[in-house]
């Protein structure tokens, strides 16, 4: 009889969800658009860098160095300046990102002393982008150095040259170094989390607003029956979003899926219980959908920023790294990347699974305890 009552509630919830024409696009269409857009937009690469130079030397060597930057796919050589004052004024206006200043006697110093200096000015308002730009610049300068060395070296020096050590890198788990391979699993976690949290958080609050929650409270339906019937549809929707997201990840972004797909579903089914419990807990202390949305958004933004999705956890302060151990999104991001890209098995993800399971028990326990029912 208990299961029959739960079945009726679940049936009623699904009817409400699919009857709401405005809600359906938010549940299914919008997340897919976000997955496609965010996965393309959330890139660690820095391209179309506005590059300018001041060439005081005007020799074949200085021209060759500028051509190296011009040939790069990352830099757009916009203009040259006759003085540092003009270049600094252009950077102040935001017209250039990088200014390369080649000193006078650049070629002569290379030929005679086999060394010289370059001045590089980088717009570092965006510190992360400036760091990446600096890496690109160093790579181009080092490549130029190798070619210059071949030109400058004397035959008598060949016998005395030290042997170079050649390193051959082997890229595991992401051979093409495609940032989408790294980002898509994380973006998928973000969408599953946000949709299930917002829907579950606002669902019961909506019942409060329209007055049907009081009607449900005076019925013989038990507390656990009501909660299971309410949350089960969103648990199913979360798994449906995962399914559609995995299909898009494979077809559109060609993300490898090395691990067991059933393991991803098994972990996700437990993880969604954490989010649903969190949504129910929020709804118990709010009276309007706006309040529930605001509180849910407040917590989900903190969880996302401290999940390692966009920034490495190792780069965070020690206190922030400690707090991430209480962040369920962090565990889900790690598991998705481990299973999809590394082929990790249940034993490998056991630490994350144990914490997530404990989180699910605690959150749902608090949610059920805080839910007030008359009968």
Confidence at residue 336, expressed as pLDDT on a 0 to 100 scale: 92
Residues comprising the chain, all counted: 375
For residue 27, give the nearest of 40, 38, 15, 18 by alpha carbon. 18
Contact in structure between 323 and 299 (CB atoms under 8 Å): no
Tens of pLDDT, residue by residue, the chain (375 residues) = 567 777 877 887 777 777 767 667 777 777 778 788 877 766 666 788 899 999 988 888 888 888 988 888 889 888 889 888 898 898 888 889 999 998 888 888 777 776 778 888 998 887 777 888 888 898 888 888 777 666 655 555 545 555 555 556 666 777 776 777 888 888 889 889 988 888 888 777 777 777 766 666 666 677 777 778 878 888 998 999 899 889 988 888 888 888 899 999 999 999 999 999 998 888 888 888 888 888 888 888 888 888 888 778 887 888 988 989 899 999 999 999 999 988 889 999 999 999 999 999 999 888 888 876 544
Residue 236, classified by CB atoms within 10 Å of its CB into exposed (0-12), middle (13-18) or buried (19+), is middle
CATH code for the part of the protein at 49-157: 3.40.1710.10
Q: Where are the domains of the chain?
A: 2-42+178-370, 49-157
Confidence at residue 42, expressed as pLDDT on a 0 to 100 scale: 66
Helix (H) or strand (E) holding 328: helix 328-337
Confidence at residue 99, expressed as pLDDT on a 0 to 100 scale: 92
- The encoded tokens of residue 192 equal 């599953």
- The encoded tokens of residue 42 equal 């959330």
Residue 314, classified by CB atoms within 10 Å of its CB into exposed (0-12), middle (13-18) or buried (19+), is exposed
CA 183, CA 39: separation in Å to the nearest integer? 6
Longest Cα–Cα distance in the chain: 98
Write out the DSSP string of 253-286. S-----S-HHHHHHHHHHHHHHHHHHHHHHHHT-
């Amino acid at each position: 009889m208990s299961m029959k009552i739960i079945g009726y509630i679940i049936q009623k919830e699904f009817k409400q969800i699919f009857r709401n024409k405005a809600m359906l696009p938010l549940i299914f269409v919008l997340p897919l658009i976000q997955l496609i857009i965010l996965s393309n937009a959330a890139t660690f690469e820095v391209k179309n860098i506005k590059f300018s130079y001041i060439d005081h030397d005007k020799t074949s060597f200085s021209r060759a160095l500028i051509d190296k930057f011009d040939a790069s796919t990352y830099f757009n050589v916009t203009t040259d300046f006759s003085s540092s004052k003009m270049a600094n004024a252009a950077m102040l206006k935001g017209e250039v990102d990088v200014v390369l200043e080649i000193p006078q006697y650049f070629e002569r110093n290379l030929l005679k002393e086999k060394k010289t200096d370059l001045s590089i000015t980088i717009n570092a308002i965006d510190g992360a982008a400036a760091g990446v730009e600096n890496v690109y610049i160093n790579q181009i300068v080092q490549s130029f150095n190798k070619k210059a060395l071949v030109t400058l070296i004397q035959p008598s020096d060949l016998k005395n040259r030290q042997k170079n050590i050649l390193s051959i890198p082997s890229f595991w788990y992401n051979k093409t170094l495609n940032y989408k391979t790294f980002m898509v699993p994380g973006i998928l976690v973000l969408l599953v989390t946000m949709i299930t949290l917002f829907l579950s958080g606002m669902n019961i609050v909506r019942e409060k607003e329209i007055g049907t929650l009081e009607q449900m409270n005076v019925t013989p339906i038990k507390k656990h029956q009501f909660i299971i019937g309410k949350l089960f549809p969103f648990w199913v929707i979360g798994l449906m979003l995962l399914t559609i997201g995995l299909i898009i990840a494979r077809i559109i972004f060609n993300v490898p899926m090395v691990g067991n797909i059933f393991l991803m579903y098994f972990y996700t089914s437990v993880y969604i219980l954490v989010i649903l419990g969190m949504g129910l807990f929020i709804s118990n202390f709010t009276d309007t959908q706006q309040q529930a949305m605001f509180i849910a958004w407040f917590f989900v933004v903190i969880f996302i920023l401290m999940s390692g999705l966009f920034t490495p956890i190792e780069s965070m302060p020690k206190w922030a790294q400690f707090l991430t151990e209480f962040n369920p999104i962090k565990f889900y991001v790690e598991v998705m990347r481990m299973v999809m890209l590394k082929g990790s098995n249940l034993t490998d993800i056991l630490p994350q699974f144990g914490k997530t399971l404990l989180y699910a028990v605690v959150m749902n326990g608090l949610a059920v305890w805080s839910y007030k029912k008359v009968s």
